[in-house]
Amino acid sequence: MNEFQQPEHNDYCLDESMLIAHRDGELASDEEGHVTTHLAACAGCATHEQSVINNGHQIYDLLATLAPSQEAVVEATSALARMQTRIREEGHEVERPKTLNPLTTSMARRQRWYRSPRNWVAAVAAAVIIALLVIPNAGVLADQFLSLFRVQQFQPITINPQDFRSQPLPGLQDFGTAKLQGGDIKDNLTEAQAAQLVQFHILLPTYVPKGVSGNLQYSVMTGAQVAFTFNSSSTRAYLNKNGGKNITIPANLNGATFTISVAAGVEMQYNGSSSASLIQHSASSSSDTSSTQVNNSSGLPFIIVEVPSPTIRATGTATLNELRDFLLSLPNMPPSLVSQLKGIDLNSGTIPIPLPPQITAQHVTIHGAPGLLLADNTPIGGGVLWQTHGMIYAVGGATGNATELMKTANSLR
């Protein structure tokens, strides 16, 4: 072990994140009491605490050298005067993106499987549950009975349909009950209406792939909550039917509940039937013309989705690790899949994205945030998925042109 690794300690000792939160005065009173009591009795943790304090002094003293000197501080009043002058000179007004006409119908719309609220919410719930299952041991989440997990980034994993030809993957309903609240979809909205229904600033593209044209149609997926409760009886019935009679279900899993919450999100689709060829909005930078020329020749389906990252709260009598270990031990679970899931560095928020072999995934960076560029090998379509600042963004449609997709993703303003 070198000095940059955490010292080894037993299950009862305090980890570094706890000591740092203690140092920073950020623990809840009950946690603080526990830490203080432990430090008084454990010489190893007391030494570790001193090290954390000393390191903190060193780090934040160094970072303090980045602060501006007194002479370099600019007065807010003079800065405001300059700002007002700049706004006047550039003729900026507080603009909103123009309201665009709703779409009546399109081929792509019929193909959007996630337009069913249940499909959409179930997909989110399933994805987050999968993430929960593979959260690595220890850490701040796994050892707590009450945890909060927020999706932060994505990791592709390959799912080979051949592996499940004889034995399909189980669904949530095989292990318990899932109750859905909310998750409605409101269609044919104007941008202003959509903006009122979501709690974030809707980003718009200043560029779209060649062949994508027309007006934007707005839909809002209202907030939803799924409460999944593990049920040992249902699970036993599933195991008995699927070759898992010998598998023991940990008693404390029964009744464990996971509540997945997602706030309202927006979906925007380009309407290829419109004659509009110019999309104007004010989200682009001050130096450009705030407009984007759009090719109107074929009207390829193309959508943009913006959704706050789902969160999941785990309550009950079992730890997340126990649930994860149990589910990864299920019969007929392909070893390659288990290996991939266990190999993911989740880093407190990575979520696996299952992909069939014909879909290729490439790690990319969009607006400085990690994301995935997905493309069909044929290629008949593709998309980009990324997360930043608590939001999940996706753009995609009937184009497999990676450059065009990336350019579109990076143009969101």
Partner 1 sequence: MPPDIRNRLALASVGEESFEATFTRYYSLVYQLAYRCVGQSDEAEDIAQEVFLRFYRTPPHSINEAEKRAWLCRVATNLGLNSLRTRQRRSNREERVGELARRSASEDEALQDPEQHILADEQAAFVRAILAEMPERQQTYLLLRSIGLSYAEIAQTTGVATASVGALLARAEREFRRRYHERVSATGA
C-alpha pair distances (Å), 135 with each of 42, 48, 337: 29, 26, 15
- CB-nearer residue toward partner 1: 103 or 198: 198
3-state secondary structure the chain: CCCCCCCCCCCCCCCHHHHHHHHCCCCCHHHHHHHHHHHHHCHHHHHHHHHHHHHHHHHHHHHHCCCCCHHHCCCHHHHHHHHHHHHHHHCCCCCCCCCCCCCCCCHHHHHCHHHCHHHHHHHHHHHHHHHHHCCCCCHHHHCCCCEEEECCEEEEEECCHHHHCCCCCCCHHHCEEEEEEECCEEEEECHHHHHHHCCCCCCCCCCCCCCCCCEEEEEEECCEEEEEEECHHHHHHHHHHCCCCCCCCCHHHCCCEEEEEECCEEEEEEECCCCCCEEECCCCCCCCCCEEECCCCCCCCEEEEEEECCEEEEECCCCHHHHHHHHHCCCCCCHHHHHHHHHCCCCCCEEEEEECCCEEEEEEEECCEEEEEEEECCCCCEEEEEEECCEEEEEEECCCCHHHHHHHHHCCC
- CB-nearer residue toward partner 1: 67 or 246: 67
With CA atoms as reference, report the closest residue to 258 among 309, 312, 182: 312
Q: Are 313 and 148 in contact (CB under 8 A)?
A: yes
Q: Helices 117-133 and 320-328, interaxial angle, to 10°?
A: 100
Q: How far is the CB of 89 from partner 1 (least distance, A)?
A: 12
- Cα dihedral 53, 55, 58, 61 sign: negative
- CB-nearer residue toward partner 1: 342 or 389: 389
Kindly tell me which residue out of 283, 328, 333, 344 binds partner 1, with binding defined by CB under 8 A. Answer: 283
Part of the chain binding partner 1 (CB under 8 A), chosen from 62-70, 235-243, 272-280, 293-301: 62-70
- CB-nearer residue toward partner 1: 199 or 298: 199
With CA atoms as reference, report the closest residue to 348 among 142, 96, 109: 142
Interacting residues of 92 by C-beta distance below 8 A, sequence separation 6+ = 286
Q: How far is the CB of 402 from partner 1 (least distance, A)?
A: 22
Query: Can residue 36 be called a binding residue for partner 1 (CB under 8 A)?
Result: no
Query: Can residue 87 be called a binding residue for partner 1 (CB under 8 A)?
Result: yes
Please provide residue 185's backbone torsions phi and psi, each rounded to the nearest 5 degrees.
-120, 125
- CB-nearer residue toward partner 1: 57 or 118: 57
Query: Can residue 363 be called a binding residue for partner 1 (CB under 8 A)?
Result: no
Q: How far is the CB of 66 from partner 1 (least distance, A)?
A: 4
Query: Can residue 66 be called a binding residue for partner 1 (CB under 8 A)?
Result: yes
Kindly tell me which residue out of 20, 130, 169, 355 binds partner 1, with binding defined by CB under 8 A. Answer: 20
Query: Can residue 311 be called a binding residue for partner 1 (CB under 8 A)?
Result: yes
Query: Can residue 50 be called a binding residue for partner 1 (CB under 8 A)?
Result: no
Query: Can residue 331 be called a binding residue for partner 1 (CB under 8 A)?
Result: no
Query: Can residue 136 be called a binding residue for partner 1 (CB under 8 A)?
Result: no
- CB-nearer residue toward partner 1: 182 or 349: 349
Kindly tell me which residue out of 13, 21, 185, 333 binds partner 1, with binding defined by CB under 8 A. Answer: 21
Q: For partner 1, what does the binding mask look like between residues 185 and 214, x meaning CB under 8 A?
A: ----------xx-xxxxx------------
What radius of gyration do the chain's Cα atoms show? 25
Query: Can residue 57 be called a binding residue for partner 1 (CB under 8 A)?
Result: yes
Q: How far is the CB of 76 from partner 1 (least distance, A)?
A: 4
Kindly tell me which residue out of 64, 110, 165, 278 binds partner 1, with binding defined by CB under 8 A. Answer: 64
Kindly tell me which residue out of 33, 36, 47, 80 binds partner 1, with binding defined by CB under 8 A. Answer: 80
- CB-nearer residue toward partner 1: 43 or 76: 76
Query: Can residue 286 be called a binding residue for partner 1 (CB under 8 A)?
Result: yes
Part of the chain binding partner 1 (CB under 8 A), chosen from 227-235, 249-257, 280-288, 377-385: 280-288
What is the size of the binding site for partner 1 (CB under 8 A)? 69
Query: Can residue 288 be called a binding residue for partner 1 (CB under 8 A)?
Result: no
Query: Can residue 70 be called a binding residue for partner 1 (CB under 8 A)?
Result: yes
Kindly tell me which residue out of 102, 136, 331, 349 binds partner 1, with binding defined by CB under 8 A. Answer: 349
Query: Can residue 123 be called a binding residue for partner 1 (CB under 8 A)?
Result: no
List of residues contacting partner 1 (CB under 8 A): 4, 6, 16-18, 20-21, 24, 26, 55-74, 76-77, 79-80, 82-83, 86-87, 92, 94-96, 139-141, 147-150, 152, 195-196, 198-202, 282-283, 286, 309, 311, 348-349, 367-368, 388-391
